[in-house]
Amino acid sequence: MTKLSVNINKFATIRNARGGNNPNLVKIAIDCENFGADGITVHPRPDERHIRYSDVFELKKILTKEFNIEGNPIEDKFVELVLDTKPTQVTLVPDSNNQITSNQGWDTIKNYRFLNDIIAVFKKEGIRTSIFVDPIIEMVECAKLTGTDRIELYTENFAHNYKTATGDCIKPYITAAIKASEIGLGINAGHDLDLENLAFFKQNIPNLSEVSIGHALVCDALYLGLHNTIQQYKSKLI
């Protein structure tokens, strides 16, 4: 079954809005694991507007399942954080410091040398690597050359067009996933996946190892409760 990694950034956003420690991010992460999540994802940014670097160290102490840290390795501070905490996986995302959220995959051709060098640093420490990519065959093929273990398919375009162009919007992702499997890359996915589109995506993408979901899951939890929400997301991945 495809694993569900819960991105807890939005919980940290709520906490930071009022200061203090409510909600308690460590308790949120423990609860997510206990409620059925297969892993926890965080995406610390330089301005620490949601996840703080100190949060990552605290989470590392208590998590018992997979820990995935996302971010742009262009920042030395991010690279040092990953090396100091040694998560299960590091997902490399090409976002700029002031972006609200990630909005594109890597150009793995243009950035091949940089990605190859930094991935070697992480893999030397036994950290699984994943590269955020758009569903473009050439980007997937060059991702393989960087030495990464996995790719994470950037799914915003699929999610945005799901209601109006269901069949067409999934086709590039199927093609990219097939190519990734053929050349020995693991496949993750994330961005705007939700309870409405997740089952369809899972059913059509071969060898999907993991999805990382945050914003939609946190919004659903406001109505359904966190335990129930995680269980519903898990049911879409069977």
What are the catalytic residues?
43, 70, 191
Q: CB-based contacts of 157: which residues, under 8 Å, 6+ apart? A: 134, 135, 169, 172
Nearest to 176 by CA among 158, 199, 191, 198: 158
d(CA 55, CA 59): 6
CB atoms within 10 A of CB 122: 23
Could you tell me which of 189, 188, 196 has the C-alpha nearest to residue 219?
196
SS3 label, residue 194: coil
217 φ/ψ angles, rounded to the nearest 5 degrees: -65, -40
Distances (CA, A) of 132 to 46, 79, 151, 179: 19, 16, 6, 15
Helix (H, G, I), strand (E, B) or coil at 224: helix
CB 44 within 8 A of CB 53: yes
Which residues on neighbouring strands pair with residue 6, listed in sequence order?
A: 40, 213
Three-class SS state of 3? strand
